[in-house]
Amino acid sequence: MDGRDALGEAEWFDAHTHIGQNDPDGRKATPEEILGGLDQAGHRRSMLFAMHEPDGYSAANDAVLEAAAASDGRFVPLARIAPNAEGAVDEAKRALAAGAAGFKLHPRSDAFGLPHPVVEEVVALAHARRAPVLFHAGRGIPHLGEAVVELARRYPGARLILAHAGISDLGWIAEDAAQLRNLFFDTAWWNVADQLQLYATIPPGRILYASDMPYGPGIFAAFCFLRVARAVGHGPEALRSIAGAQLARVVAGEEPVDVGPAPGVAAVGQRVIEAERVVSYCSVALQLAFRGFDPSESIALARLACQTRRDETVGELLRYADRLLAIAQENRDARPEVPYAAMPATLLAMVIAGTPEVGVPPIAV
């Protein structure tokens, strides 16, 4: 599970981490906590930006810039811009002048849609500097991909990143993504089916490893990335590109490197129905826990689905998933007041069951 062992000298570079103390969702994170998460995962760098700030982003962007300046190069700061706020373009220019490497835009929490004239101005600024713009493209928004594809065509210098595996648009966007060298996807998302579609249908040079810390620990995100990327047959060059080599070029203003075509949906291989049952119940458990509900029944159903008389790899894999799910339930019972307590072990069980061709992990649980 340790990123250092898996990729040797590769410089891991997480595309998606946050700090902030005022997000209405209750999560908080300091720069020290994000550095701790990078260290735990064996990762060198991350792009860093603000969590939701209902009172505006100037001070939050300054906090990100200060954290980056004090980080010995480990944080690459993005300025978060709320397009409907007064002076949004001025804030973007101010942040660039103060050292921001690009921008983060969040259509859900900052309540805007695309196309949007201020977003276009922000993307034009990024185009002039060959800088990244990261769009939240996860839950809670209608799809925005057409507008982003259009911006990527018109502003080829801008490096546009659809966060959260681009799930808002992942179903249809592969052909456009194959043509657009400046359209990227970060991997910060939990559902293994979405992950399989991302790695199978999007060229590996367009995929950027990301955790979404503090929401997703880097060590789990890295495990998920390596497992799913191997499941679709990616080799060392693609893995190094996704882990950080491509993002290093993006933030340096260099041209992205093509590391080959998407492997295609056939690369996902045959599904193992016993394991698919485990995946489906784990998905329900994760969604319930994420929303603060008790996931115990779904975990119990997932554990029942793990019971099999198959004794080759499938049997071993499901016994492994079952042990993880037992840990998930223990964690839940030990801290029922913490809605997320069951999530890490359930997530691991889902990812392992969803990628049976990769085999049983070499770590005992």
**Contact set with Zn ion (CB under 5 A):** 212
CB nearer to Zn ion: pick between 194 and 212: 212
Residue facing Zn ion at closest CB distance: 212
CB nearer to Zn ion: pick between 212 and 274: 212
Report, in Å, the least distance between residue 19 CB and Zn ion. 11
Report, in Å, the least distance between residue 336 CB and Zn ion. 27
CB nearer to Zn ion: pick between 91 and 212: 212
CB nearer to Zn ion: pick between 119 and 278: 119
Report, in Å, the least distance between residue 197 CB and Zn ion. 20
Report, in Å, the least distance between residue 24 CB and Zn ion. 14
Q: Which of 329, 219, 209, 346 is nearest to 290 (CA)?
A: 346
DSSP string, 114-173: SS-HHHHHHHHHHHHHT-EEEEP-STTS---HHHHHHHHHH-TTSEEEESGGGTTTTTT-
Distance CA 244, CA 108 (A): 27
CB nearer to Zn ion: pick between 110 and 212: 212
Distance CA 135, CA 105 (A): 5
Residue with tokens 């906090």: 63
Report, in Å, the least distance between residue 18 CB and Zn ion. 6
CB nearer to Zn ion: pick between 23 and 276: 23
3-state secondary structure of 202: coil
Cβ count within 10 A of residue 217:
18
Find the helix or strand (DSSP H, E) in which 184 lies.
strand 183-186
Report, in Å, the least distance between residue 163 CB and Zn ion. 6
Phi and psi at residue 102, to the nearest 5°: 170, -160
Distance CA 173, CA 163 (A): 14
